[in-house]
Structure 1
């Protein structure tokens, strides 16, 4: 039986085993997926075991730390200097970034256009990816941050100018302007257990077409509730979580999935998440 796992620290109540086991079931592949949580500084000691796996995923704090242990970087991992998926072929470790693939597949599945005006809330690791991918797809990008994030956002603007030759706008998250074709939340504001808050006021949704929140717990954040009530089309973070996992299976086993199959797994994972929340 093929073995896969997620490395990170801490891993808490990750849904990765449930997602990947559901994908293996769709493929008819006999495989298992487990969590492997170990503190920073112990990565080198775990490498021999990791090389014996069929593949593994990577999360905080190892997305950059794992890179020196890899023989090669491919695709988005080269662009972002960040790895979340590793293939193991004959002990050769190749790093990929399927977060960007998961984001683009989510946009496509919901028919959210990136050839429009896009406002990204936050300029951290995932916000940087959203901004760069949106700009690469032809969006007019605005990055909205708090005062403490202004330096990081300005650095992101310079990076996009240098790499892609286009300009983005940086603004205060309390005055994000709009309306936009798409608003993307890349902040943790609204994540469980602090579900009663939103990173922006509902005013941003007036005239806005679509809203994507990368938070998957809860399935519908306050941001998404207010956006839906304002008439926006909405999508939550579980979609991206499942799609980025599916992209890992494409790398590992050449798998292919239809939108309807992914919609079924997304619904299943939201049910599992709700049950876990009720049990606490």
Structure 2
């Protein structure tokens, strides 16, 4: 193939721990599907302070990165280190996609767009509420903003750190029916939907962000975690007959949106879906 000689587009992921990430497989497959070559590098940096993070980001352009994704625990911490933020990233206060253009770093948030699309595909154009949202960190904030785009949907937000939840409520003040709850039990009282926006349930953790006794068959339950695909929360939800959405949908949709920002090309969803399933299959075994 002639395009094999072209220099590959260099992409990456900054975060930790990220060994199980499906992003390399998804982005490289998406590139191949549109006739490009991409190399997607995992940049696993545990416990980086702001100085180390700044050094890392300032090296992206000189090394030749077209863009990088950002994941836990740096989605919020990269904000002040970027040259520019999209309105969406500014609204969320978190970045999961950085586009490198002419030496400048532009922050975006495709968790928001990706989650909204995934949710409507799984549960229809107007998901039933109230929705209990667990977690007000990087992913939780993106989900809160995504949910705020559904008119009249009541969101009840819980975080182990109530100040974080209050900050998200302030951020969305006037844009959404968002209520901060102190306890998960309170958030789930009469709730129709549940979203886990925390890393609880991500391997090696086998915990659940929601006590199983609070789940009901009529609910829909979504998880942002995809390693494992079937977290303890989703396994129990499915067992009692609730409708479920795994982290697969969010992972694929945020990656599709990020790839479009990185390359200016729309990748076919099926290419990313196949790549995700291949990458994650060993984890499910």
TM-score, length-normalised on structure 2? 0.82
Higher normalized contact order (CA 8 Å, seq sep 6+, divided by chain length): 2
* 1:4 aligned counterpart, secondary structure: strand
Paired position in structure 1 for 2:142: 129
Alignment size in residue pairs? 271
Once residues 245 and 66 of structure 2 are traced to their aligned partners in structure 1, the CA distance between those partners, rounded to angstroms, is 32
Change (3 A) 1:260 1:16: closer
Paired position in structure 1 for 2:260: 250
8 Å Cα contact 1:179-1:205 kept in structure 2: no
Return 5+ residue gaps in structure 1 as ranges.
Answer: 276-280
Once residues 5 and 177 of structure 1 are traced to their aligned partners in structure 2, the CA distance between those partners, rounded to angstroms, is 37
* 2:221 aligned counterpart, secondary structure: strand
8 Å Cα contact 2:27-2:272 kept in structure 1: no
* 1:242 aligned counterpart, secondary structure: helix
Change (3 A) 1:271 1:149: same
- Runs of 4+ in structure 1 deviating by more than 6 angstroms, as ranges, are none
Once residues 52 and 186 of structure 2 are traced to their aligned partners in structure 1, the CA distance between those partners, rounded to angstroms, is 44
Paired position in structure 1 for 2:30: 23
Q: Give the CA deviation at 1:156.
A: 2.9
With 153-162 and 219-228 compared, the bigger mean Cα shift is at 153-162
The C-alpha deviation readout for 1:133-167, integer Å capped at 9, x for no partner, is 2123221112245xx433433343333225x1644
Q: Give the CA deviation at 1:120.
A: 0.9
With 98-107 and 60-69 compared, the bigger mean Cα shift is at 60-69
User: What is the RMSD computed on CA atoms of the aligned residues?
Assistant: 2.7
2:278 is matched with which residue: 268, 272, 279?
A: 268
Once residues 21 and 205 of structure 2 are traced to their aligned partners in structure 1, the CA distance between those partners, rounded to angstroms, is 18
Q: Does 1:37 pair with 2:50?
A: no
Return 5+ residue gaps in structure 2 as ranges.
Answer: 1-6
Paired position in structure 2 for 1:56: 68
Paired position in structure 1 for 2:217: 206
Change (3 A) 1:179 1:27: farther
Change (3 A) 1:123 1:270: same
Once residues 29 and 68 of structure 1 are traced to their aligned partners in structure 2, the CA distance between those partners, rounded to angstroms, is 32
Paired position in structure 1 for 2:3: none
Once residues 138 and 223 of structure 2 are traced to their aligned partners in structure 1, the CA distance between those partners, rounded to angstroms, is 15
Q: Does 1:220 pair with 2:233?
A: no
8 Å Cα contact 2:133-2:144 kept in structure 1: yes
8 Å Cα contact 1:157-1:170 kept in structure 2: no
Paired position in structure 1 for 2:104: 92
8 Å Cα contact 2:25-2:276 kept in structure 1: no
Once residues 47 and 218 of structure 1 are traced to their aligned partners in structure 2, the CA distance between those partners, rounded to angstroms, is 30
Once residues 99 and 256 of structure 1 are traced to their aligned partners in structure 2, the CA distance between those partners, rounded to angstroms, is 17
Paired position in structure 2 for 1:278: none
Change (3 A) 1:77 1:175: closer
After superposition, residues 69-80 of structure 1 pair within 5 angstroms as 69-80=81-92
Q: Give the CA deviation at 1:213.
A: 0.9
Once residues 83 and 152 of structure 1 are traced to their aligned partners in structure 2, the CA distance between those partners, rounded to angstroms, is 16
TM-score, length-normalised on structure 1? 0.83
Change (3 A) 1:220 1:98: same
Change (3 A) 1:73 1:194: closer
Change (3 A) 1:135 1:171: farther
